[in-house]
Structure 1
Amino acid sequence: MSSPDRLSLETLSGLPETVQTPAYDPRSVRPGIVHLGVGAFHRAHQAVTLDDILATDPQWGIVGASLRRADMRDALAPQDDLYTVAVRSGEGTALRIVGSIRQILVAPEDPETLLKAMCEPAIRIVSLTVTEKGYCHDPATGDLNPDHPDVKADLQNPRAPTSAPGLLVEALRRRREAKIVPFTVMPCDNLPANGPTVHRIMAQYAALLDDGLARFVERDVAVAGTMVDRIVPATTDADTAEIAAALGVADAWPVVTEPFTQWVIEDRFPTGRPDFGAFGAEMVADVEPYERMKLRMLNGSHSTLAYLGYLAGYQTVSETMADPAYERLVSDMMTDEIMPTLEMPGTDLGGYRDALIARFHNPALKHRTWQIAMDGSQKLPQRFLGTVRDRLAAGQPIDRLALGIAAWMRYVIGTDENGAPIDVKDPLADRLKAIGAEAGGDPQRLAAAYLGVAEVFGRDLSGDPAFVEPVTRALAALLSKGAAATVKDFAT
């Protein structure tokens, strides 16, 4: 039962007039999409676009699924799965209630219920925001990692999987067996060529079970690649309190974001799709150039700011950008080292760069450098190393890119410049910290050891002096001078 003091369908009509509410009755919505990975990003991005669409086409409601924990379900179920999106800019905050997610399931608790939902004929799209590490793959190669613990567990019990590849393939197997047409898979994570990469991961997983199933996944399952962009910081207790005060009722888990949003989608939906294009998405034949632009320019710059900013004691991106040396560094990195690797005739890359700089400066967003620094071993191959390889192949310098990579190395040692511990959140955190301890602060030993982590750097870069030398120089500077002084040197 809903509470009069809690956001819910019952309390919607009593919200202040300045709060935007759904332009449809959420109770009339029918599910057409299952989304794996109901986190803050999905709720501030894809679910908002679907909220717009549902006002005219109620068949595209979302059944969300958490692949790890029950906390999102437990927070939103008592409020009829409604939640607030707070859009913050220098001009203030605009509040909107989103109702497109009509149910949240928890895979580890009950994979069978989730699989049954994925097999409903009305479900024509399964989308994902499970982060890079959720695909159980090797970021350096883009292939499925058959030794991943979640993959090994699913192969032992393939009819009750809990990993993203396992759930997708088992649901597709069941649909095939029941003669229900396959859904379209729509990954919305920052993977290079995320459509082909996820298609390959699914086929490789299926091949470990059955060759015929693998051929079916390769031949008959459509995968629509995407590029998604919106900065969504983690919600703080202060955010929750402020939003509750503005609403007049409590919202257990609102999300905070910026005004900018972008969604580029490959138009590969043989069984139908919402009219994404009428509500702000860009439908294209090939998303790869847009994805590469975003991964290299936005995400690469974001990670650079996160590691170098955190090491200098800056808590947020906007605080980091208030230091002119940091702004100059990322602007020059985009202009001189990243943009020349992008072939996008007709696209104003300089305008995109300037828009990114403005977004990074947004003082209302408070995007924590520590949050962006998470899972760096999974992110570096996508955000930095494609650019690096292109630059090296062209015989061009990589000094600023090397500084971003060296800053990651300095960060994952696990102690900051004052000797305080860093809470490194990364699948390889223990191994990376052990490497740092063994190297004992020697930049050459440290760089060589980290570059030997093949899951991150592959086999080619650790033997290339054009890569090793600038990374080692940058790491030596960070260890001897600190981040702020090193950035100042690079920016002058």
Structure 2
Amino acid sequence: MKQLNRQNHASKRYPTKIMQFGEGNFLRAFIDWQINHLNKESGLNAGISIIRPIDYDALPLLNTQDGLYTTLVRGIDESGEATEQVDIIECVNEEIPVYKEFDKYMALAECETLNVIFSNTTEAGIEFIDTDKLGDAPAKAFPGKLTQWLYKRFNHFNGSADAGLMIIPCELIDYNGEKLKEIVMQYCQLWQLDEQFIAWINDSNHFCSTLVDRIVTGFPRSEHDALQTKLGYLDNFMVTSEYFHFFVIQGPKELEDVLCLKNTSLNIKVVDDIYPYKQRKVAILNGAHTALVPLAYMAGIEAVGEAMDDNLFTQYVEKLMFDEIIPTLNLPKDELVQFANDVIKRFRNPYIHHLLLSISLNSMTKFHTRILPQLLTFVEKHQQVPTLMAQAIAAQILMYRGTRDGQAIELSDSPQWMALFADVWQQHSEGTMTTQQVVESVLGASWHWEQNLNDVEGLTLAVTSSLAAFLNSGVRVELMRTLQA
């Protein structure tokens, strides 16, 4: 078999319009995959120069395959059928290792066609390092490298507004664009850069915050040889991901024209504020995930897909989403319903094996951020406790007893929570603490919940009732009774 490269695979070269900090699986299966589709669907005609932002040689550069690689997109499509889509990504022009080819990286600042920057340097990448210097080759922190490059561009184009860019970070922190700009400004102060440059940053560049959503499962190690045989060529950079994708960019409407989004089938939105979409993802996707874990696991189920093959838990997830979560959210109902239906398909994805115990890591924090806001909103709007959310809390308390069918569960959470659960369940087993007192102790942990949840009318009773039923007859029997009521 021949190696995948431009000599063995006829492919188009595109002018460099995008610089991308980061060469990892996520960007290649999310951003670069979308740019590849925009080139073919809507005439974006954009090539990408990838910057390897850290100094390591453990993996070869994409240049060894002329920037070409394969994406395998797998999951449940709109018709509910399992699908696998194979694309050769052709939009990457080069990968520049910035620590070894700093001059080549800086030369990109003179590229007239370049108008967009994407990044994913991990959450730790958007940091300020006060020992970085303007003359470093390069600065250590990603925002420092970016400031060096922007200053070179500003000077080369004499501060022209037309040389400004759309800067679109994809790191998983809240309002990542605002945070990145804030740190760039810190470097401007540290390096005492001139006021005209600072004005150009503010007036001619847009730092766009984002919400990214796609599970990227990465390099298909166990299937690699078989896939190469199937595809008929060698590819050391192939990457797999789920079918679903969603990209929300908080930015100016002109970004739609810059990225040629008006004629695309891709799930990309340019909005004034990403918050409602972040809230939707956290509440519906993450909230349903978090609620499902203890219920399904304590019913003897090991993985998300297995739970979604069980009619009882499919009913639970659907009823939780549509009856208890969606009524608390402030977006058009049709958008919320569509997103919930997409999430259900994602949970059923046969190509992804999500172990419930793995997802349970630090679950108490997840209940705080993903379940509690919707629970409190539901109580405020309807003057009653949402039954299914209360059952999820009860199942979480049960799971944190630390045993299932007489076998120990390998739990992982903060020491404070682990100590509290060990204490209350020990007292419960000794008969010195009632089931309600166990619940009251957990809900009363104001150091975690930032309030005493026993003060939420009806919540203590609802959680206690469910927990008692779980202890008496099991999760499955109680859940069945609730859903049939």
Superposition TM-score, scaled by structure 1 size = 0.69
**Distance in 1, Cα, partners of 2:400 & 2:54:** 26
1:466 to 456, 474, 478: 456
2:48 corresponding residue in structure 1? 61
Runs of at least 5 residues in structure 1 that lack an aligned partner in the other structure: 14-23, 137-149
Seen in structure 2, the aligned counterparts of structure 1 residues 343 and 200 have a Cα distance that, compared at 3 Å, is same
**Distance in 2, Cα, partners of 1:77 & 1:228:** 27
Seen in structure 2, the aligned counterparts of structure 1 residues 370 and 81 have a Cα distance that, compared at 3 Å, is farther
2:91 to 100, 107, 123: 100
On the 8 A contact 2:35/2:46 being kept in 1, the answer is: no
**Distance in 2, Cα, partners of 1:69 & 1:373:** 33
Structure 1 residue 387: deviation in Å? Answer: 3.2
Seen in structure 2, the aligned counterparts of structure 1 residues 258 and 172 have a Cα distance that, compared at 3 Å, is same
On the 8 A contact 1:232/1:256 being kept in 2, the answer is: yes
1:85 corresponding residue in structure 2? 71
Structure 1 residue 368: deviation in Å? Answer: 5.1
For residue 325 of structure 2, what is the amino acid of its counterpart?
I
Seen in structure 2, the aligned counterparts of structure 1 residues 259 and 247 have a Cα distance that, compared at 3 Å, is same
1:35 equivalenced with 2:20 (yes/no): yes
On the 8 A contact 1:257/1:365 being kept in 2, the answer is: no
1:349 corresponding residue in structure 2? 336
On the 8 A contact 1:326/1:491 being kept in 2, the answer is: no
1:123 corresponding residue in structure 2? 114
SS in 1 for 2:262: helix
Structure 1 residue 59: deviation in Å? Answer: 3.3
1:44 equivalenced with 2:29 (yes/no): yes
2:264 to 266, 279, 302: 279
Structure 1 residue 264: deviation in Å? Answer: 4.3
Q: Deviations over 1:13-34 (max 9, x none)?
A: 6xxxxxxxxxx42xx2333223
Q: Deviations over 1:125-178 (max 9, x none)?
A: 2223456x4476xxxxxxxxxxxxx54xx2232655555555555544554465
On the 8 A contact 2:440/2:454 being kept in 1, the answer is: no
**Greater CA deviation, 239-248 or 175-184?**
175-184
**Distance in 2, Cα, partners of 1:59 & 1:332:** 44
1:9 equivalenced with 2:9 (yes/no): no
SS in 2 for 1:276: coil
**Distance in 1, Cα, partners of 2:263 & 2:144:** 33
SS in 2 for 1:436: helix
**Greater CA deviation, 120-129 or 442-451?**
442-451
On the 8 A contact 2:401/2:422 being kept in 1, the answer is: no
1:419 corresponding residue in structure 2? 408
Seen in structure 2, the aligned counterparts of structure 1 residues 95 and 308 have a Cα distance that, compared at 3 Å, is farther
Seen in structure 2, the aligned counterparts of structure 1 residues 469 and 51 have a Cα distance that, compared at 3 Å, is same
**Greater CA deviation, 166-175 or 275-284?**
166-175
SS in 2 for 1:127: strand
**Distance in 1, Cα, partners of 2:279 & 2:310:** 28
On the 8 A contact 1:234/1:371 being kept in 2, the answer is: no
The structure with the largest alpha-carbon Rg is 2
On the 8 A contact 2:288/2:321 being kept in 1, the answer is: yes
1:156 corresponding residue in structure 2? 131
For residue 252 of structure 1, what is the amino acid of its counterpart?
N
On the 8 A contact 1:204/1:214 being kept in 2, the answer is: no
Structure 1 residue 339: deviation in Å? Answer: 0.8
SS in 2 for 1:61: strand
Identity %: 20
**Distance in 2, Cα, partners of 1:184 & 1:168:** 13
**Distance in 2, Cα, partners of 1:70 & 1:380:** 40
2:385 corresponding residue in structure 1? 397
**Distance in 2, Cα, partners of 1:305 & 1:93:** 27
Structure 1 residue 340: deviation in Å? Answer: 1.0
Runs of at least 5 residues in structure 2 that lack an aligned partner in the other structure: 76-80, 190-194, 425-437
SS in 2 for 1:252: coil
1:186 corresponding residue in structure 2? 168
On the 8 A contact 1:184/1:270 being kept in 2, the answer is: no
**Distance in 1, Cα, partners of 2:133 & 2:300:** 46
**Distance in 1, Cα, partners of 2:467 & 2:72:** 42
2:216 to 212, 228, 232: 232
For residue 466 of structure 1, what is the amino acid of its counterpart?
V
Seen in structure 2, the aligned counterparts of structure 1 residues 119 and 389 have a Cα distance that, compared at 3 Å, is farther
Seen in structure 2, the aligned counterparts of structure 1 residues 209 and 348 have a Cα distance that, compared at 3 Å, is closer
Seen in structure 2, the aligned counterparts of structure 1 residues 377 and 277 have a Cα distance that, compared at 3 Å, is farther
1:19 corresponding residue in structure 2? none
SS in 2 for 1:387: helix
Q: Deviations over 1:51-70 (max 9, x none)?
A: 12334443332525466976
1:144 corresponding residue in structure 2? none
Superposition TM-score, scaled by structure 2 size = 0.70
For residue 277 of structure 1, what is the amino acid of its counterpart?
K
**Distance in 1, Cα, partners of 2:109 & 2:390:** 46
On the 8 A contact 1:435/1:449 being kept in 2, the answer is: no
1:201 equivalenced with 2:189 (yes/no): no
On the 8 A contact 1:63/1:101 being kept in 2, the answer is: yes
Seen in structure 2, the aligned counterparts of structure 1 residues 173 and 337 have a Cα distance that, compared at 3 Å, is farther
Seen in structure 2, the aligned counterparts of structure 1 residues 209 and 466 have a Cα distance that, compared at 3 Å, is farther
**Distance in 2, Cα, partners of 1:358 & 1:479:** 28
SS in 2 for 1:452: helix
**Distance in 1, Cα, partners of 2:398 & 2:133:** 40
**Greater CA deviation, 179-188 or 463-472?**
463-472
